Structure formats: C-alpha cells, structure tokens
Structure 1
Amino acid sequence: MKKSVLILWSLFFLIQGISKSQDLSVVVFENVRVFDGKSEELTPVVNVLVEGNKIKSISPTNIEIMPGAKRIQGNGKTLMPGLIDVHVHMAFGALTMKEMMSPMLSEGVIVEKTSKGAEEMLLRGFTSVRDAGGPIFPLKMAIDAGKFKGPRIWPSGATISQTAGHGDFRTPEEKSRRFFGEPSRAERYNATFIADGRDEVLTATRENLRFGASQIKLMAGGGTSSAYDPVDVTQYTFDEMRAAVEAAEDWGTYVMVHAYTPRAIQRAIEAGVKCVEHGQMLDEKTLRLMARKKIWLSTQNLVEDTPDMDPLRREKRKPVIEGQSKVWPLAKKLKVKLAWGTDFLFEPELNALQNEYILRLQKWFSNAEILKIVTHDNAELLQLSGLRSPYPGKLGVVEEGAFADLILVDGNPLDDLSLIAQPKEKFLIIMKDGEIHKNLINLTDPSL
C-alpha cells in the first residue's frame, strides 16, 4: 500500500514538473554577437537559448527547440546584458519639488507618477536599479506582481537621517517629532526617518528591513538638495552609524551612506559601511583606504546647474561638481571598486537623459570599461545584499544560468557607445526576466 502511494505521489510530481516545463516560454536569439558583460570584444556569431527567465545555453551551432518557440533573427547584431543604475530615486526622480510639497500629494499620486517613470526606464533598457531612498515598496511590489512594467528594484526604503541631516526635509513650521510628537510630512510619506541616538537608528533600520529593504541608506554627511546641512558637515556619531551596520549585518545585508567628505567617509568605513554614495570630495588617502578595504564607491557624473535650480543649491553644489572630475580618474587609478548611477532628483525631465549620462564616463574609461561598469560591476554591487537580495542569481552578464535580462542592440556598442544613448531606435529587443517588453524586429507576431 505504501509503495503504491509513493508511486502515485511520484507520478503526481512528475506530471507537475512536465506541466511546469511546458509552461516555460522559450526564445532563441539566432546569429547574434554577444557582449557578455566583462569582455573587451564581442563573441563570434552564436545562438542564445532563453528558457523561462534564464539563459539556458549559448552555442555556435543551431539549437534544437520545441515547436512554438520564438525565434529572433539577430543577423549579427549585439546581444548584451540589461543596463543597471545603482543610484535612482524612483519617487524623488518622478516628482518635482512643487508636486512633493503640494497638499494634493497622496500615495496614489506617488504610485501613478512612479509607475509611469518605471515603465519608461525599462524601455530605456534599464532592467535593474537600486533605489537609494524614498517611498518605494508599493511600486516594487506592483512591478513584481505584474501590475506595472518596470525594472527589478533593490529597495532601501526611507532614508535614515539625523535631525538637521540630509534627510531632514521638514519645512520651517514643522517641529521635532521627538519634542512635539508629530511626524513630519516626509516621514508620513515614508520618504525618510529622522532618527537620533542608537535606539532610534536601530528602530528605523529594522523598520525598513521589516518592509523588505535589500540594503539600508544612511545619511552620513551634508548634501546639496537639503536646506539645513552644509555639504562639509559630518553626520551621525560612530555609535549611531555602527548601530545601523549591526542591524543590517544581522539580516545579512549592508549599509550604504550618502557622504562627500573624507572625514564623513572615514567614519563610515570605521563603522563597517560597505558602500559610499557620491564621494566627489574624496582625497587620495581615503580612496586608498577604500581600495584596501574593498569598499564600494558608487558615484555619478552629476548634471551641471540647470536654469530652474535654487540659487542656494547651486552654491552648495560647487565643490561637488568640481570634485567629480578628479574622483573618477583617481579612483580608477587606485583600483577602488566603482559603480555608477544617475541620482536625478525633483527634475523628471532629466530621466530621459539617463542613457546619455553613461557617455559622460568616456572622459576616463574605454567603451568596454564603461559597459562593464553599467552591467557586470553594478550587478556585483546589487548582490552585496546577499540573502536580502530580492532576485538572487546571476545578473549583468550573458552566460548560461544567468537571468535573461537582455538587450539586442542594432550595432556594436563596444565600437560606438553612442548606441546606448539611442534606446528608442537602437534597442531592438528589451527582455527582462525572460519576457520581451519591446520588439522592433517582428511587430507582426502577436506573441511578441
């Protein structure tokens, strides 16, 4: 009797397995040349088989596939990993400051604006992003559930800031929650936690982890988009910062910090922080320390002043803008672990330039080095989240077993990087998680 039951259960699971495998979509990119995310040259012409959401095989010979599988004729075009931006703010980048301060702002408005921006970002070829702080969890869950289209998101949740820190967005009439008991508007909308002292920092960190943060964003120094803190100030004591690091490490993940100056960054490194955001005012001594300790520098080539920029912000940005042209080449020379992001804030029109900002790295890097940074290297930083990564697996590469996050490019971006800045015309196929979201090759096929 027991043997019969075991046989029945075995047959059940076998049927389930067969049924599941039959449900997997199968796509073959035929006759493509591959940029694998790491190499300085494209491969010879190969065929790439995608089964479900993974790359099943890469072969120079024809691949036998089942009837009904999709075939995409590459005709020698370039298949490469999806682009990755490791410093976006899906909410702050989709809304203007006027909209953020409007009495009409609601969670519904935030989701509406951010969902539109997320789909546009995916159609620019960005299949993965790390959100560096803000109200992100509803959007991420909706994308993962298939309600909206958008990139994979590694969420930080609300930024964590001391009083008078870079995440203290209170207006002049808003009093301290600690003394007056009323959360600020930014805290109510899950944009930031204003947390002072070890206990409050622990609670804020754990709150973000509770909601699904893949890493924690701490404000360790002054900023240019905040009203009360000069750029040069150091924020959070060692004990406060160490509290966030300990709480994150207990969950198997890490803390990244917003900071520009050597003093702020040295304190963060001492506290155990694994990734520095920005750092445009770094000196050689601190960069050598980062290289030795394998601390990531996730930095940007920021936009110059725009006509509508607040004069105070324009003045605060001067040392940061001046410093970025020095930091990139020096960090490269010292072999610091480098990652790239955009960090657009409160100017939604800048989002359309996301791809073009990659080209700004040509001052200091070869085309191959740049493509490696915005695919393989950025993916390596994403997976620093370890067990808290929402999408564990290989990303940023084209190799067997990796996620099928792919772009078919009309041309060779290793020869002509400007192709990356023309996603509308030059990105013929955009695939995320094995699903085709854009197709300019076979528009007559309803299955695509």
Structure 2
Amino acid sequence: MCYTCCQSAESGADAINPCLCGAPETRRAMARIEADISRREFLGGSAAVVGLFAGFGLAPTELRAQTPGRPKLLTNLRYFDGTTLAMQTGRDILIEGSRITALPAAGTGPAEAEVIDCGGRAVTPGLIDCHWHATLVSVSQIVALTQDIAFVHLVSGQEAGATLMRGFTTVRDTGGPVFGLKMAVDRGVVAGPRIFPSGAMISQTSGHGDFRLLSSLPRMDADPADYTERTGVAAIADGRDEVLRRTREQLMRGASQIKIMAGGGVSSLYDPLDTAQFLEEEMEAAVRAAADWGTYVCAHVYTPEGIRRSLRAGVKSIEHGQLADTETIRMMREEGAWWSIQPFLADEDANPRTDPIQRAKQLEVAEGTVRAFEEGRAEGVNMAFGTDILMNPGGSSSQGRQLAKLARFMSPLEALRMATGAAGDLLALSGPRAPYDGRLGVIAEGALADLLVWDGDPETDLAFLGDPDSTLRLVMKDGRVFKETL
C-alpha cells in the first residue's frame, strides 16, 4: 500500500487524492498479479511433488502411447465375463473413454479403433480385493503404530502401484488413513487401484482396534488421543453416542462403507479371539448412521456369537468369520449378508506372528478356514474374496497367489468370480457413497473398463495369478493402459 500518499490525502494536504490503493482498477491488477503468483507457485510445487514421487518410484508413467478420444478394441481373445462360469470366444471388447461400450462379434468393430491384439490369450475383469489395508499392508506393526505417518503414506503410495501391476484394479480398504492415497490415485499423482475407503476402524475400548499399551491406561476424558487415533488408523468409541460420532466422522471424510470391530483379532494382544465386542445397540448406531448416508457397515468378527449379534444389528458384510458354526452360516444366508472371507491357512503366506498369543490365535483361525469355505459354499452364502495382508513387509506379493488358493475349495472360475463379479456386487452396497460410477468386476456393456490379459487358462488352473510379472501382459484401468507386453 502507498502509505505516504494515503497519509497526505487523509491530512488534506492535497486537493486531489493521488493514492489509488483502494481503487477498483488497482484491486483488479493486484488480483491478476496474485493469481499469476499462485499459478506459478502451484506449478512449481506440483513439479516438486511429482519429482519427489518419481524419485520414490511413485510417479505414474504412460506405458503405451494412447490417443485421447480414440476407441480401443481388444481382439483375438478368450474372456471370462466375471459372472458366467465359462470362457467365451467369438467377440471383441470395445472401450470408449473409461467404459466398455460393446462386445461386437469378432472382426466387426469400428475401423477407426486402436486395435490391441491379445494373441489368443485370456482376458478377465480387473481383480478386486475386498479386504485390503492400503496404508498398513507393507509396513511392520511397530512402524504402523509408532513411526512418522508421512513415511507410512509414502510406502503406501509405492505399494499402490505394485498392487495395480498385480492386476488388482480395485480394493475395498477396510481400515486405515487411506483418503489421501485415494485422492492421489484418482487424480493421477500416483498409479494405483480404485479405493473404496472405510477410514478409521471403529473399535470399543479393549477391542481389536485398540492398540494402546497397557501403560496408557486408564484413559481419562481430558487425555489426548492415541497415535493410531490421531493418524486415522482407528477410532475408539464406547457407547451409542460415541459410536455415532465416530461413524459420522468417517462418513464426513468420504468413507464408502463403515468398518467396526465386532470381535477379537489375531494381530492385537489384549482382546481374546472369543470375545464379543460392541453391544448390539452400539452396532445399531453405526448401522443407522451409515444407512442415513445410503451405505452399510462391515464387521471384523470370527465367532458365532459376534457374527449373529452383527447380523441382528443390520451389518451387511462379515469380515473373516472362519469360526462360524452351521447355524450362524445359515443365518448369514437368510439375512442376505456377504461373507468377505480370506484363505487364512497358517502357511508361508500368513501374516508373520512371533508372539505366542498371536500365533495361537492365528492357528485357531486356520483350523476353521477350510470348513468355512466348504460350508459357506454348500449353504449358498454370498462370498467375496479378500486377503487382509496386514503389517507384513513383502507379503503383498502373495496377493494373486492367495486368490489362486481358492481353487482348492471350488472350480477355478468360481474362485475367480469371487474376486470379480461377486466382489463387484459387494462393492455396490455402497450405493450413492460408491466413489466410482459404474459396474466393476465384469466384462459387460456399460461396465467400467478395468481389464487384464493373461498368459494362462482360468478354466483349468489359477496358478498364473501368482506370477503377474511374467503372466500378466496387459493392465487396463478406467480405459487407460498401465502395462502392455503383448
């Protein structure tokens, strides 16, 4: 501001005020200057951010020259549509923009389309992992619970790109501070899968999401939030009012579904596996708050009592549930609930557990896994695939291999359907809170164009899923090619 001129004008020394500081033309000029400075700062800052991510291996790269607006036509292929238990032939797949717009008879697609010859290979929908922790998968438990959250986020960004390159084009994140990663993926800052976020896992005091040390007790009303609560890993809530508050906070942040802890877990030390967690009225509070926003609640739980309590409260998706008995499995079917189940077999791919308490719980869950898969299928429960690879550096590479394990319980195409069409139906429960507009997990007209081309035969064996570096020849997400080695 022109201080001297203004002072003279205010004192009456000049008959005419020479100061134009507040004049409309001056304000417009200043606005243009500030806008230009802001634009330059934004561009410079963006370049710095992209440079940072590139140095960490996170920046998205265009692996195939693609002409915007030009349709793509996948030809010379066999495909699994995500629902029909057979490989189909005689058709091509036409993609315009982000969607599959037609399945024309082979050789009849538009002449102007960019042709991608699949060489007779198998094409499947992009895979979906319905129980994933994008920010917690590739760090150890001690890092996740104590280290600078910025480091955790950088690791999660790197892992997001690796997840996409394994063929998992969508994940349902069932707990953790994932909103920033989702924003970065959706805006193209990093490559990664579509993310259906739950936000912080909502847990009672002493529940599976309460990772505090015993030395932190007792917690008083004036005490600050624990690290896991401050960073958005978990939210501890007791009583109906507090559950309502924490549920609404996650919805405000953009949760597509809500995750509650309804029973004991393996990775936590102080909640025995057999415990039932949250009173039914507390669960109902979360369910009603989610329903008001047009979405649903999923619940971490293993035991029959915890599962039945969750179902009575209106929970729509049971996470894990390997200790369910026959009566409880039938209740899941009758309620039309989904069983988001993982191949927990205490094998070489299991999350590492050295503490004897954790290890004992892990073995107990593994003992129920085979029966849970077999009886769940026999009773006709809606089942979708997830891995729950958690706090396990290096373990994420087993993601496709864990899906392949399901072929021991069912036919290969049935197993593949659990991670494509069936998983897409589960994601659709988010209704208006679904972050992406369109069907997922299927090859069908109007579906979102998430497609994979494989060396392998899904009708006979799924072992090829475990070696995506060699067998996954094309990755397309949202109509964009991220990998192509055809």
| Counterpart residue identity of residue 125, structure 1 | G
C-alpha separation in 2, matches of 1:48 and 1:355: 24
Q: Does 1:77 align with 2:99?
A: no
Deviations 1:223-278 (Å, cap 9, x if unpaired)? 11112110001011111110000000000000010111111111111111111101
- Which residue pairs with 2:27 in the alignment? none
Q: Name which of structure 1's ranges 398-407 and 105-114 shifts more when overlaid on structure 2.
A: 105-114
Of the three residues 181, 190, 196, the one matched with 1:139 is 181
Compared with structure 1, are the counterparts of its residues 331 and 49 closer, same or farther at alpha carbon in structure 2 (3 Å cutoff)? same
- Which residue pairs with 2:199 in the alignment? 157
Of the three residues 226, 236, 239, the one matched with 1:194 is 236
C-alpha separation in 1, matches of 2:220 and 2:98: 48
Deviations 1:118-154 (Å, cap 9, x if unpaired)? 1000000000010010111010011001101000000
- Which residue pairs with 1:377 in the alignment? 422
Deviations 1:326-372 (Å, cap 9, x if unpaired)? 11100100001111100011112110011001121122100111111
Compared with structure 1, are the counterparts of its residues 126 and 25 closer, same or farther at alpha carbon in structure 2 (3 Å cutoff)? farther
Q: Name which of structure 1's ranges 205-214 and 389-398 shifts more when overlaid on structure 2.
A: 389-398
C-alpha separation in 2, matches of 1:117 and 1:133: 16
Residues 326-405 of structure 1 correspond to what in structure 2 (within 5 A)? 326-405=371-450
Retained in 2: the 8 A contact 1:177–1:183?
no
| Counterpart residue identity of residue 262, structure 1 | P
- Which residue pairs with 2:326 in the alignment? 284
| Counterpart residue identity of residue 415, structure 2 | I
Residues 46-57 of structure 1 correspond to what in structure 2 (within 5 A)? 46-57=91-102
C-alpha separation in 2, matches of 1:318 and 1:30: 47
C-alpha separation in 2, matches of 1:188 and 1:94: 20
Q: Which runs of 5+ in 2 are unaligned?
A: 1-66
Secondary structure in 1 matching 2:221: helix
Secondary structure in 1 matching 2:300: strand
- Post-superposition offset of 1:307: 6.5
Compared with structure 1, are the counterparts of its residues 431 and 98 closer, same or farther at alpha carbon in structure 2 (3 Å cutoff)? same
Retained in 1: the 8 A contact 2:302–2:320?
yes
Secondary structure in 2 matching 1:142: helix
C-alpha separation in 1, matches of 2:461 and 2:264: 38
- Which residue pairs with 1:24 in the alignment? 69
C-alpha separation in 1, matches of 2:254 and 2:201: 14
C-alpha separation in 2, matches of 1:233 and 1:71: 56
| Counterpart residue identity of residue 312, structure 1 | I
Deviations 1:171-217 (Å, cap 9, x if unpaired)? 23324554342101110111000000011000000000000000000
C-alpha separation in 2, matches of 1:369 and 1:101: 38
Residues 5-404 of structure 1 correspond to what in structure 2 (within 5 A)? 23-65=68-110, 67=112, 69-102=113-146, 105-175=147-217, 177-304=219-346, 309-404=354-449
| Counterpart residue identity of residue 260, structure 2 | L
C-alpha separation in 2, matches of 1:307 and 1:146: 33
Compared with structure 1, are the counterparts of its residues 320 and 307 closer, same or farther at alpha carbon in structure 2 (3 Å cutoff)? closer
- Post-superposition offset of 1:62: 2.4
Deviations 1:359-409 (Å, cap 9, x if unpaired)? 211221001111111100011101110110001311111111111000011
Secondary structure in 1 matching 2:128: strand
Retained in 1: the 8 A contact 2:131–2:385?
yes
Retained in 2: the 8 A contact 1:187–1:194?
yes
- Post-superposition offset of 1:308: 5.5
Compared with structure 1, are the counterparts of its residues 151 and 327 closer, same or farther at alpha carbon in structure 2 (3 Å cutoff)? same
Retained in 1: the 8 A contact 2:407–2:461?
no
Structure 1 or 2, whichever has the larger Rg, is: 2
Q: Name which of structure 1's ranges 249-258 and 167-176 shifts more when overlaid on structure 2.
A: 167-176
C-alpha separation in 1, matches of 2:91 and 2:111: 19
C-alpha separation in 2, matches of 1:300 and 1:25: 40
C-alpha separation in 1, matches of 2:282 and 2:171: 28
C-alpha separation in 2, matches of 1:231 and 1:308: 15
What is the TM-score with the length of structure 1 in the denominator? 0.90
What is the TM-score with the length of structure 2 in the denominator? 0.83
Secondary structure in 1 matching 2:420: helix
- Which residue pairs with 1:5 in the alignment? none
C-alpha separation in 2, matches of 1:158 and 1:29: 40
Retained in 2: the 8 A contact 1:154–1:213?
yes
C-alpha separation in 1, matches of 2:209 and 2:287: 18
Compared with structure 1, are the counterparts of its residues 399 and 73 closer, same or farther at alpha carbon in structure 2 (3 Å cutoff)? same
| Counterpart residue identity of residue 124, structure 2 | M
| Counterpart residue identity of residue 87, structure 1 | H
C-alpha separation in 2, matches of 1:323 and 1:308: 18
C-alpha separation in 1, matches of 2:456 and 2:398: 20
| Counterpart residue identity of residue 206, structure 1 | R
C-alpha separation in 1, matches of 2:446 and 2:351: 44
- Which residue pairs with 1:425 in the alignment? 470
- Which residue pairs with 2:64 in the alignment? none
C-alpha separation in 1, matches of 2:256 and 2:120: 38
C-alpha separation in 1, matches of 2:378 and 2:431: 28
Retained in 2: the 8 A contact 1:176–1:182?
no
| Counterpart residue identity of residue 321, structure 2 | G
C-alpha separation in 1, matches of 2:97 and 2:185: 18
C-alpha separation in 1, matches of 2:352 and 2:311: 37
Of the three residues 402, 411, 421, the one matched with 2:456 is 411
C-alpha separation in 2, matches of 1:197 and 1:117: 36
| Counterpart residue identity of residue 283, structure 2 | M
Retained in 1: the 8 A contact 2:145–2:228?
no
Q: Name which of structure 1's ranges 343-352 and 303-312 shifts more when overlaid on structure 2.
A: 303-312
| Counterpart residue identity of residue 388, structure 1 | R
